[in-house]
Structure formats: structure tokens, C-alpha cells
Amino acid sequence: MTFMKRRSFLTATAAAASASIAAPAFAQSEPKLNWRLVSAYPKSLDVIFNTATMLADHVRVLTNGKFNIQVFAAGELVPPFQSADAAAAGTVEMAYMPPQYNWGKDPTWALGSSIPFGLNTRQTNAWLYYGGGNDLLNDFYQQHGLYGLPCGNTSAQMGGWFRKEINAVEDLKGLKLRVGGYVGKVLEKLGAVPQAIPAGEIYTSLERGTIDAAEWIGPYDDEKLGLYKVAPYYYYPGWWEGQSLIYTFVNAGKWKELPPVYQQAVRVACEAVNGNVVAHYDHENPQAIRRLVANGAKLRLFKKEVLDACWNASNEVAAELSSGNANFKKIYDSQVSFRRDAYLWAQIAEAGHDNYMMSLQREGKL
Amino acid sequence: MTFMKRRSFLTATAAAASASIAAPAFAQSEPKLNWRLVSAYPKSLDVIFNTATMLADHVRVLTNGKFNIQVFAAGELVPPFQSADAAAAGTVEMAYMPPQYNWGKDPTWALGSSIPFGLNTRQTNAWLYYGGGNDLLNDFYQQHGLYGLPCGNTSAQMGGWFRKEINAVEDLKGLKLRVGGYVGKVLEKLGAVPQAIPAGEIYTSLERGTIDAAEWIGPYDDEKLGLYKVAPYYYYPGWWEGQSLIYTFVNAGKWKELPPVYQQAVRVACEAVNGNVVAHYDHENPQAIRRLVANGAKLRLFKKEVLDACWNASNEVAAELSSGNANFKKIYDSQVSFRRDAYLWAQIAEAGHDNYMMSLQREGKL
């Protein structure tokens, strides 16, 4: 795809400059702006790709057409994993990316996406907006020339597609699993062999037996890859992504230059989009899981023995990552401290209600 | 509290009128506006009172100070239960109110808040934004001269404070319970006697034994009433409010007159606030439940036998309300249809994850 070079600095249109004679403060604060955003997602992941489009639409309408954000899909301008880097460098003004894509540079980046056995979606928002989480993460992003805004969540993910059942911890030994980053480190402790494979090659890798299992996202997105045909055991929960947060990153210098009214447009739009994406997945996933099971997917719950081993391994990895990495330790400790009482409260009104409703579903009464 | 009369119609400031000579379209669409919003909540319910303040703040900043919404607490301009009526009549432009406060006029209003054994918070958002729910509700609100925007949720509520334990369905017989509307009808079927008592009188009514039990909201709000001292059994779940949605209502005529850029400011701000309030409660409730239990509250889960009886009674009431009320039937059926697969999916990734995390909490491992 081609694109035109656009001015990425603050520019006032002729109309605004003219109006400024009559009302200078007004015109100064609402310049015509054209920004570019690179998404780390392809258009085929329509829900999380459209998140950035929704953000851009909101901002455009909120600013009466004056602040335009042009959205580019993964790879159109820069490779997906370099999205945040491109915003930090000023190549573009904005990036839409799960922070964990930068895991290789510093494991602290993973904490802006999820930790194994971490908070769920709602708890993450509580930690971000009221528990100081977003501020802590931004102290880190600031060190890398970025300002970050929480802007979407896949919610709890599935554990992925397996060619064979996992009946015991030993079954993880030697298992070639398409999974990366933080959880890869955890699974290595249990003898699994994490594999880095692009999305487009997962199907054939499973079909040929080059790998034994692959994790992706959740029913709606997974369905498109058709993995149930080659690896029918669909495990849950995705204990490494009880939620998976996505950030909109803005070049730190550009963010500071942005008029307050535009900053607020981006802030409020991101907050709206952050919840809207979850609602979108919550609308699509129930239908997708029905179709997947009808097509042959076999749902399997990870056994407690397996989860316990993964929990222990996760704590070992977290301790290793915390040692000698002050940024990681500070943010991780904050999440874990919030997690304690969050899951105490979660058991009462919410789980009390949901558990009864789910029992009605199993009894065929809904 | 006193207040000045303000112009509630579209007015352009001198500055905007002056600027319009240079850029007419621009100035025409961003007039100076002063609106009034009546909240159905007192300031003491700080989380849900501040919701409307947050909405007003967002809109003011988004419109560069041109669209001002002045927020009045319950009773300052109109009695809380007349908030939406005041907006419909044009006495004020906006109201912030749980739709169920209008239950007495038509039970359909309750459906914009919650139904017994209904959707949870996330499912409600999925139904509203992607399942056609908000459009269906607005077809109804439109008949009453209002445009409604989802704007906050208490999330799953508690079942309330009881002087004695409820060990069997029979214990509900003759029970004088401070509860109203839809759930009052359901509990009447089981022999309970719903009581309408203002919040300020709940404590003394329980202390004197005038009533046997009272429901309010959740730990953070309930704590302020101190009910644990006079009715220590704190039951859950609040099966009649697995979530409880609050709407911002706008006078339908005023909404239509609003420039699109201001409509969008209100829309996006409401969507942002809708999620933010849940995060706020999710931050406060875990701490509040700890304090309540430390102060003597005794947590009790409603027994399955009791829930089953309430479930059956709820379905009887819904059938009665649906018969002869096309509005009720249409919206109720849509919610219930969405509920079926929502709780199927909820059991998999989300509950799979949360259940394991809650087991770690009970084992003291978090």
C-alpha cells in the first residue's frame, strides 16, 4: 500500500488562522492536524484492528474534523513488532500495540499486556484507572519516549489448540508449542519447547506435526485460522492471559505539544474504546464457540495439577525477572498486591451470581 | 441550594458570532451552551454521584469549555424519582437516573436497569452496544420524550442485610424486606412483604425490628449506612441485580437540536464513564468488604434451594409482565435470548481462569 507523506507537526489551517484574529485563544488551541497511527494488527483481526479505526473516528468527530488520525494496518508502514518503536522515533505519531510485543527489549513491557495468573479484565481496569497502574506503566513508557493510553482488551484468552490431550504435567515435556514471551519462559521450566511461528504458518505447522500445539486469542479470532481441523483439543483457561491489554502509544514529544482539548479527545476516546472492544468480543465469542464445537473442536479444561505446576513455574520466573530489574519489580508488585483482595471480592457478589447462572445454563434452564 | 436560571436553548456567544464571519460553519456548530442535569443520587453515594460530574467534566473539556453541564444532586431541583420526568418535560435538559426508578409508570423501565437472574456487567454492555439492546431501550425511551445513553453500572450487587439467617424458602414467608419494584413482585410470590423505606430510615427500621432485612448496593456504599450493626447477615448474590445499569437521559427535542460534535462528546463521554464507574467500584469494594467483615458482618451465600425458588418466581413474574405489554416483552425477550449463550461462553475462558484464581485466594496463595 502506498501513502502520501503528511505533515506531522502542528499546523493551523488558513481558516483557523483567519478566525484567530477575532478569537485568538480559540483558534490557537484547535489547529488542523493530520497524524498517522500504525497498528500491530492485520485487518483480518477485525475486532482489534477496528479498535484503532474507532479511536480515530471518535477523535475526528470530537474535534469537528480538525484532528485526523490515519490508521495503517500491520506491515503497511512498519513491521508489527516495531509499531511502538516507530512512534517513539517520531516516524509516526501513534502506535496501537500490545506492549508485550516489546518483551524482547525488556520484560517490563509484558506487564502492560498481562502476567500469567494475573488480574482479569475488570480488575485490570480498576488497577489501571484507580490503583495507580496506568501511572506506573507510563513512568516506564516515558523512559522510552512514549505516552500510553489503555485502549482495548481481548479479555480472557483460550489456552490454545493441542493435537493431543494434556493429562499430566509430564505431557508438557518436549511439547513444541507456538507461544512466546513471558509464558514461553514459564513453560520452558516445565520442559516445553516454545516456538516462534507467524500466524499464517500455524495451520500447516500443526498439520505437519512441526509443532504440537499453538495458542492464539479466543474463539472469534481463532475460528478464522481453522485450527480445530488439525489440533482439535481446545484448552482453557489461557492462564497467561486472564486478560490481555492493548495500548495506544503516542510519541511523548508530540503528546506534550498536543492542545489540551485534543489530549482530552484522545483520552476519553481511548477510555470508551477500551470497554467497547470487550463488549464486541463478548458479543462474538459466544456464537463462535458454538460454531467451533459444532465443527469438531473438543473443549478441555486444564487439570488442577497442571495449573498448579504452571502457577509455581510462573512465580519462579517472576522472581527471576524481578531480581535486577527495578521497573519490572515495581509494576509487578503493584499488580500482585492488587490481585490479592480483587479475587477475594470476586468470589462474593460476582461469582455468587455468575456461578448460579452458569448452573442454570448447564441444567438447560436458560 | 440556590441556583440561577440559565438559558437552556442554543445560544452563540459574541466571540463565536464574531469568529463566524471568518469561518461560519465552524462557529455555527459550536455554540456556547449551558445545560442542567439532575442526578437521582445524593452526593453521599460518591461513586455514582461523581459519575455525572465526570461526564460533565469530559464534555466541558472536549468542547473547549463551550458546552457546560451543571450537575444537581438528588432533591436539589426535583425529587430523585422525578429526574427523568424533569428531562422529558424540558424542566432540565438531562437526568442521571437508574431507569427502574420509573418502574411504577411501566415495568418496561426496569429493563434498562436489570432483571432478576439477568446478564452480568460485561454481558450487559455486549447486549447494549452490539446486541441491539440500547436501540431497543431507546425505542421505548423515545415514546417518553427521552434519548438515553448507558452511563455507569454498580456491577453485581449484594443481596442485602438480614437480622436472621435464611435457611430455607419458608424463611422468606412474612419477611419484611426493604426492597422495591421488580424484585418486590418476585419476593411477594414467596410470601415476603416488600417495604418502601427511604435510605435514611433503613438503619432505625432494622434496629427497631420494623423490618427484617434491607437491600442497598454493595460493600462500599452499604458500609456508610452501618447496617452490619443491626442486621449482620450479609447475603449474596443480589440475584435481582447481577448488574445494575444507570442511564443518562436527554430531553429528546434538545438532543436533536444538539450539534453533532456535541452529541458525539456526550456519546463518547458516556461510554467512557460507563466503564470507568465499574473500575471505581472494583477498586473500592474489595477494601470495603474486608472492613465490613472485620467489623462484624457475617457473609452468607443464598442456598441453592432458595435461589431456585426465586428463579421460578422470577419467571412467573416475567410471564405476567410480558403478557399485554409489548414493550416489556420485546426487550425482555431480547435480553433473555442473549443470556443463553452468554453464560455458556462465560463458563469457559473467563470462569475457567477466575475459578482457579479464586481457589488460589482461598488456599492463601495470592
The answer to whether the Cβ–Cβ distance between A343 and B360 falls below 8 Å is: yes
Nearest-Cα distance to chain B for A292, in Å, is 12
The chain B residue lying nearest A132, using CA atoms, is B283
Interface membership of B354 toward A (CB under 8 Å): yes
CA distance linking residue B277 with residue B282, whole number of Å = 8
Peptide bond into A80 cis (omega under 30): no
Interface membership of A58 toward B (CB under 8 Å): yes
List domains and CATH numbers for chain A. 8-154+242-282 (3.40.190.170)
- How would DSSP label each residue in A74-143? TTTSS-GGGHHHHHHHTSSSEEEE-GGGGTTT-GGGGGGT--TT---HHHHHHHHHTSSHHHHHHHHHHH
- Amino acid in position A129: Y
Q: Quick check: A26 pLDDT over 90?
A: no
pLDDT tens, A31-47? 999 999 999 999 999 99
Residues of chain A numbered 164-223 and touching chain B (CB < 8 Å) = 218-219
- Predicted confidence at residue A19, as pLDDT, reads 38
The answer to whether the Cβ–Cβ distance between B158 and A349 falls below 8 Å is: yes
Query: Long-range contacts made by residues B288-296, C-beta under 8 angstroms, separation at least 24?
Result: B288/B218, B288/B219, B288/B220, B288/B222, B288/B223, B289/A344, B289/A345, B289/A348, B289/B219, B290/A341, B290/A344, B291/B223, B292/B219, B292/B222, B292/B223, B292/B228, B292/B234, B295/B228, B296/B228, B296/B229, B296/B232
Mutating which of A239, A268, A307 best tests the B interface, going by the most B Cβ atoms within 10 A?
Answer: A268
CA distance linking residue A219 with residue A228, whole number of Å = 11
Residue A241 has which C-alpha cell? 492471559
pLDDT tens, A275-318? 999 999 999 999 999 999 999 999 999 999 999 999 999 999 99
CA distance linking residue A352 with residue A349, whole number of Å = 5
The answer to whether the Cβ–Cβ distance between A62 and B62 falls below 8 Å is: yes
The answer to whether the Cβ–Cβ distance between A129 and B16 falls below 8 Å is: no
Tell me which residue in B282, B350, B358 faces A155 most closely, judged by beta carbons: B350
The chain B residue lying nearest A151, using CA atoms, is B272
Number of cross-chain residue pairs from A and B with Cβ atoms under 8 Å apart: 284
The DSSP element (H or E) to which A354 belongs, if any, is: helix A349-362
CA distance linking residue B66 with residue B265, whole number of Å = 12
The chain A residue lying nearest B128, using CA atoms, is A279
Interface membership of B274 toward A (CB under 8 Å): yes
Task: Tell me the sheet residues that pair with A234.
Answer: A161, A299
The answer to whether the Cβ–Cβ distance between B340 and A361 falls below 8 Å is: yes
The answer to whether the Cβ–Cβ distance between B283 and A131 falls below 8 Å is: yes
Tell me which residue in A21, A238, A353 faces B156 most closely, judged by beta carbons: A353
Residue A187 has which C-alpha cell? 513453560
Q: Whose grid coordinates read 442473549?
A: B338
Mutating which of A347, A355, A359, A360 best tests the B interface, going by the most B Cβ atoms within 10 A?
Answer: A347
- How would DSSP label each residue in B125-179? HHHHHHSSHHHHHHHHHHHTTEEEEEEEE--SPP-EEESS---SGGGGTT-EEE-
Give the residue, A40 or A1, on which the prediction is more confident: A40
The chain A residue lying nearest B63, using CA atoms, is A261
Residue A234 has which C-alpha cell? 481446545
- Predicted confidence at residue B23, as pLDDT, reads 40
The answer to whether the Cβ–Cβ distance between B282 and A365 falls below 8 Å is: no
Q: Quick check: A170 pLDDT over 70?
A: yes
Nearest-Cα distance to chain B for A62, in Å, is 6
- Predicted confidence at residue B6, as pLDDT, reads 34
> Stretch A13-27: mean pLDDT, rounded?
39
Q: Where are the alpha helices (DSSP H) in B174-213?
A: 181-189, 202-208
Per CB-CB distance under 8 Å, the chain B contacts of A16 are 23
The answer to whether the Cβ–Cβ distance between A125 and B358 falls below 8 Å is: no
> Stretch A109-125: mean pLDDT, rounded?
98
- Predicted confidence at residue B198, as pLDDT, reads 84
Interface membership of B129 toward A (CB under 8 Å): yes
Peptide bond into A237 cis (omega under 30): yes
Mutating which of B54, B58, B268, B289 best tests the A interface, going by the most A Cβ atoms within 10 A?
Answer: B268
B154-192 as b/e, with b when 16 or more CB fall inside 10 Å? bbbbbbbbbbeebeebebbeebbbbbbbbbbbbbebbeb
| Side-chain half-sphere exposure of A61, counting CA atoms within 13 A | 18
The answer to whether the Cβ–Cβ distance between A357 and B117 falls below 8 Å is: yes
Going from the C-alpha of B268 to that of each of A65, A79, B3, the distances in angstroms are 15, 31, 28
The answer to whether the Cβ–Cβ distance between A348 and B289 falls below 8 Å is: yes
Mutating which of B158, B282, B339 best tests the A interface, going by the most A Cβ atoms within 10 A?
Answer: B282
CA distance linking residue B86 with residue B75, whole number of Å = 12
For residues B176 and B213, the answer to whether their CB atoms sit within 8 Å is yes
The answer to whether the Cβ–Cβ distance between A345 and B285 falls below 8 Å is: yes
The chain B residue lying nearest A271, using CA atoms, is B272
Q: List all residues 6 or more positions away from B24 whose beta carbon is below 8 Å from its beta carbon.
A: none
Q: How many other CB atoms sit within 10 Å of the CB of residue B9?
A: 10
Nearest-Cα distance to chain A for B2, in Å, is 31
The DSSP element (H or E) to which B53 belongs, if any, is: helix B46-62
The chain A residue lying nearest B241, using CA atoms, is A353
- Predicted confidence at residue A10, as pLDDT, reads 30
CA distance linking residue B192 with residue B185, whole number of Å = 9
Residue A94 has which C-alpha cell? 501513534
DSSP state of B303: P
Per CB-CB distance under 8 Å, the chain A contacts of B125 are 275-276, 278-279, 282
B40-70 as b/e, with b when 16 or more CB fall inside 10 Å? bbbeebbbbbbbbbbbbbbbbbbbbebbebb
The answer to whether the Cβ–Cβ distance between B282 and A218 falls below 8 Å is: no
Residue A19: helix, strand or coil by DSSP?
helix
Interface membership of B294 toward A (CB under 8 Å): no
The answer to whether the Cβ–Cβ distance between B268 and A268 falls below 8 Å is: yes
- Predicted confidence at residue B29, as pLDDT, reads 76
Nearest-Cα distance to chain B for A78, in Å, is 30
Q: List all residues 6 or more positions away from A105 whose beta carbon is below 8 Å from its beta carbon.
A: none
Give the residue, A4 or B344, on which the prediction is more confident: B344
CA distance linking residue B319 with residue B165, whole number of Å = 30
The answer to whether the Cβ–Cβ distance between A353 and B238 falls below 8 Å is: yes
- Predicted confidence at residue B135, as pLDDT, reads 98
Nearest-Cα distance to chain A for B188, in Å, is 21
Q: Quick check: A78 pLDDT over 90?
A: yes
The chain A residue lying nearest B239, using CA atoms, is A353
Residue A209 has which C-alpha cell? 506435526
CA distance linking residue A87 with residue A248, whole number of Å = 10
Average pLDDT of every residue of chain A? 92
As averages over each run of 10 residues, the pLDDT of chain B (366 residues) reads 32 36 50 97 96 98 96 97 98 98 97 98 98 98 98 98 98 96 96 92 96 97 96 98 98 97 97 98 98 98 98 98 97 98 97 98 97
- Predicted confidence at residue B306, as pLDDT, reads 98
The answer to whether the Cβ–Cβ distance between B282 and A342 falls below 8 Å is: yes
For residues B156 and B243, the answer to whether their CB atoms sit within 8 Å is yes
Tell me which residue in B19, B130, B282 faces A279 most closely, judged by beta carbons: B130
Going from the C-alpha of B77 to that of each of B40, B91, B293, the distances in angstroms are 10, 9, 38
The answer to whether the Cβ–Cβ distance between A157 and B130 falls below 8 Å is: no
Interface membership of B3 toward A (CB under 8 Å): no
Q: Whose grid coordinates read 421460578?
A: B312
Going from the C-alpha of B177 to that of each of A64, B195, B200, B308, the distances in angstroms are 52, 6, 15, 19
Residue A202 has which C-alpha cell? 500455524
CA distance linking residue B277 with residue B55, whole number of Å = 11
Going from the C-alpha of B183 to that of each of A138, A159, B4, B119, B194, the distances in angstroms are 45, 39, 40, 15, 9
ipTM of the complex: 0.92
Interface membership of B16 toward A (CB under 8 Å): yes
Going from the C-alpha of B54 to that of each of A229, B57, B156, B243, the distances in angstroms are 49, 5, 22, 21
Interface membership of A279 toward B (CB under 8 Å): yes
Q: How many other CB atoms sit within 10 Å of the CB of residue A4?
A: 6
Per CB-CB distance under 8 Å, the chain A contacts of B30 are 64
How would you class B124 by CB atoms within 10 Å of its CB: exposed for 0-12, middle for 13-18, buried for 19 or more? buried
Nearest to A349 by CA among B341, B339, B49, B222: B222
Tell me which residue in B219, B271, B341 faces A290 most closely, judged by beta carbons: B341
Interface membership of B24 toward A (CB under 8 Å): no
Interface membership of B361 toward A (CB under 8 Å): yes
CA dihedral sign of residues A330, A253, A96, B123: positive
| Side-chain half-sphere exposure of A229, counting CA atoms within 13 A | 10
Nearest to B246 by CA among B316, B152, B144: B152
Q: What angle do CA A279, A182, A169 make, to 5 degrees?
A: 100
